A and B are shown apart, each in its own frame.
Chain A
Amino acid sequence: MAVTTDIKIDRVLDVKGLVCPRPMVMTMNTLKTMEKGQVLQVLANDSSTKHSIPALCERSGYKLLEMREEAGTFIYIIQK
């Protein structure tokens, strides 16, 4: 899997295999524990995250720095 090198990732949340709503709940819970400015990478393979995670960022003010798909894995890089 390609690794984004120009963004410093503080934490990685791998929720591949979990089905809605757990990927979203765990993303929110993890962001809750992080400091402002820190970056979280989420790895998921439930297609519901394609809708829910961008919606979370739009509403909360978290920055969705990157969103891409690699061989069935959806990768989100979020800055709190």
Chain B
Amino acid sequence: MSEMDFGIKGWFETWYRKFFREKWPLWIAAIFMALSGIIAYGVATWSLSRTVMGENPYDQAKPLGTFLGLKELGGIINSALGKLGLPHYPFSGYIWPDGQTISYFVQYPNPLLEPTAGTMLGILFGGLIAALLAKEFALKVPLDKLEYGLALVGGVLMGVGAVFQFGCPIVSTTNLGAMGVQAIIMVIGMTIGSFFGAKIIVWLEKRRLASIACVTADGAGYRPLMHFEKTKTIWPKPPVNADGGEPFGIRFQPYLGLILIVVMFIVLYRFSHIGYPALSMSFLAATLTGFAMQRGGMCFAYAYREPFLTGFADMSRAMALLYGLLVIGFLPFKLLAIAIPDISYAEIFAVSPAGIGVLIGAILFGIGMALNGACVSDSLWRTAEGQVKIWVGLTTLICVSSWLFPMREEKWFKSIFAPFGSKNITDVYLPNIFGSYPVAVFFTLGVITLWALLMTWFAGRTFKRYMEGA
């Protein structure tokens, strides 16, 4: 009996370690992200059919994205600043906290009912659960001013870029799966922006290296070459000596993770029973995305920047796998939307206008995410790991994009989004441009493959140069 117990315990520990403690291979994380993205698209299609049939109009799920959620969460922050008598920007459309909300595009009884606000919180929550189960949560405060400088500048550039390009990398992921031209422009722009961002980082690090005296260890003991000590761990406190073992704050984390999972299911069960089943499922899909991102370390900023910075394209290829799986995975829902006229809008979910504005925004966003070290969705799961620097970048991004959002109503702004002379978003939908679904699918998959090959080539070139100089 005791042997059997030991066997079960050993089996459980092995699988727990593999699934919750060790990092997942990137391709597995990409498949999990694709699955959650496809589920989210399916839930959005289903919620559209429910709305058509007169169900709760606020229970509108959307495919994975974060852009409008940025605006909503920014509005909450802005209103809170106003309530506290602190400076806040003049474009607030919210009355808070009395529950009455005047949103910019759609009116919701509560800003958190905006579907992508829920998606953002879902990714954050998924990342938090994954970090806790892996005992990787720690409140880390960098003391290095450069880290905050990069976060602030990166956050501002991403905030401006998000408004111009109408989204962030996870929006481009969904949009690419949906075969929108916007996503292709975003991918090109973010690649160009990341190239420049990488060059800025290389320049900064060279300056930093030159300013640090290098001391070699003398063999008698440790003498740091570059000891930054630029962090302060607020919680959990590390043990005071080598034999201190794991502090309670680390040992307790997996149990806290399990408690949060149970609480999440209870809350979502209740939420779905008061008329929000679609938003509940959408939140669950976003949680799975955040979980997979944290476990695999999936990072859009890394995928776009590293081929130019350190010469690695493994993340770029994983993202290309994600893009490709979404193109194929969205197809059944698109064909369903074509067959059922009432939900025909589901065919062009996530397809947005595309023009020169998207390219400008994507380049700015690419530079910003390279400097900040994370885009919106990356920031969410890394925020959940307790990286305070990332909090600074994310909050800046949210506030800037929310503040600039009304700019989208300006005439000049609309003109740069006119999709190649037209104002109809179906004109930037690849199946309409080609007049054929199979051609659009193969074209999109071709673009994704070409991007992955290009990033691999750039990575090879960068790494070769590094090894030649090493």
Contacts and interface: CB of A to CB of B under 8 A. Distances in A.
Interface in B222-267: 222-233, 236, 238-239, 242, 244, 246-247, 250
Nearest to B197: A21
Nearest to A49: B297
A68 B404 CA distance: 45
A16 B205 contact: no
Interface string B400-418: 0000000000000000000
Interface in A57-72: 59-60, 71-72
B143 A17 contact: yes
Given A29-B209, A31-B470, A71-B246, A59 B387 contact: no
A9 B26 CA distance: 31
A17 B256 CA distance: 24
A43 B1 CA distance: 44
Interface in A26-63: 26, 28-33, 41, 45-48, 50-52, 55-56, 59-60
Report the contact-size class of chain A (Cβ under 8 Å from the partner): 35 or more
Nearest to A47: B136
A24 B147 CA distance: 15
B217 A48 contact: no
Interface residues of B, number: 60
Given A17-B141, A51-B26, A59-B312, 8 more contacts: A10-B217, A12-B217, A17-B143, A26-B226, A32-B469, A45-B138, A45-B140, A47-B136
Contact of B309 (A2, A25, A41, A71): A25
Contacts of B312: 52, 55-56, 59
Contact of B142 (A12, A17, A47): A17
Contacts of A7: none
Given A21-B201, A55-B312, A12 B227 contact: yes
